[in-house]
Amino acid sequence: MPTHSRRKIKVITYGTFDLFHYGHLKILERAAALGDKLIVAVSTDEFNLVKGKECYYPFEQRADIVQAIEWVDEVIAEENWNQKVDDILEHKIDILVMGDDWKGKFDHLSAYCDVVYLPRTEGISTTIIKHDLSKV
């Protein structure tokens, strides 16, 4: 069926996206490939403190970098653990995508949309980058 006649499939994913790296790029590419529109919820600096993460880049810069990715249609703020149902309903999300380090953690959201966990990109993470650079 031609895409112009069917409802657009909307995908959402969540993350900090600090020190943007290849693993972030590949999850966004794969998430976007599952639908027609990708929304990315970027964790605010305040929420990252709740998550126990201290970011190198502030929210505005992390959000701008994610928004610049061609596969990303919209960036929203992730301010707490509990906004996902509201986001799914407000944005009429069909698929929630997360890396499989989160496998099982968002299964309860399958009452509202499909929940897909994709394999993480091996060998890279913000933590590895920070560790390696600390030895320079």
Residues lying near ligand C2G in the complex (CB under 6 A) are found at 14-17, 23-24, 27, 43, 78, 98-99, 101, 120-121, 124-125
From 10, 26, 37, 53, active-site residue = 53
Q: How far is the CB of 136 from ligand C2G (least distance, A)?
A: 21
Q: How far is the CB of 123 from ligand C2G (least distance, A)?
A: 7
Based on the residue annotation, tell me whether 105 is a catalytic residue of this protein: no
Asked whether 79 and 47 are in contact (CB, 8 A), the reply is yes
Please list, residue by residue across 73-89, b when 16 or more beta carbons sit within 10 angstroms of its beta carbon and e when fewer do.
bebbebeeeebbeebbe
The two tokens of residue 18 are 């600090």
Give how far Cα 50 sits from Cα of 25, 26, 81, 87, 132, Å.
24, 26, 9, 19, 25
Q: How far is the CB of 14 from ligand C2G (least distance, A)?
A: 4
Q: Which residue is nearest to ligand C2G (CB)?
A: 99
Based on the residue annotation, tell me whether 53 is a catalytic residue of this protein: yes
What residues act catalytically?
51, 53
